[in-house]
Amino acid sequence: MSYPRALIDELNQLSKETFRTKSKWRKLVEIGEVVPVTEDTKRLTIGEDGKENVEIVKTQVMHTGKNGGEVPTFALKRYTVDEVRAKMLELKEQHAKILEAIRKGQEQKKKQEEAIALAARASGSASL
Please write the tens of the pLDDT for every residue from 40-73: 999 988 888 888 888 899 999 988 888 878 888 9
How far is residue 102's CA from residue 53's CA, in Å, rounded to a whole number? 35
Burial of 84 (0-12, 13-18, 19+ CB in 10 A): buried
Break the chain into its structural domains and give their ranges: 1-32+78-128, 35-76
Q: 60-119, pLDDT tens digit by residue?
A: 998 888 887 888 899 999 999 999 999 999 999 999 999 999 999 999 999 999 999 988
35's enclosing H/E stretch is strand 33-36
Banded model confidence at residue 126, pLDDT cuts 50, 70, 90: low
